[in-house]
Amino acid sequence: MTPRTDSRQRFIDAAADLFHTQGYHATGLNQLVTAGGAPKGSLYFHFPGGKEQLAAEALGQSSRQLNAVLAAALEHGDIDAVFDLLATTLIESDFERACPLASVALDASDSEPIRTACADGFESWRVTIADFLRAEGVDAERTEHLSTVALAMLEGALLLAKTNRDIAPLRAVADHFHTLLDQELSR
Per-residue pLDDT of the chain (187 residues; tens, 9 = 90+): 444 459 999 999 999 999 999 999 999 999 999 999 988 889 999 999 999 999 999 999 999 999 999 999 999 888 899 999 999 999 999 999 999 999 999 988 899 999 999 999 999 999 999 999 999 999 888 999 999 999 999 999 999 999 999 999 999 999 999 998 888 888 7
Nearest to 104 by CA among 115, 120, 95, 93: 115
The pLDDT of residue 181 is 87
| Helix 7-22 / helix 29-36 crossing angle, nearest 10 deg | 130
| 8 Å CB contact between 103 and 22 | yes
User: What is the rounded CA–CA span in Å between residue 94 and residue 138?
Assistant: 36
The pLDDT of residue 187 is 78
User: What is the rounded CA–CA span in Å between residue 176 and residue 133?
Assistant: 15
Query: What separation in angstroms does the CA of 65 have from each of 2, 31, 99, 125, 163?
Result: 19, 23, 12, 11, 24
The pLDDT of residue 5 is 58
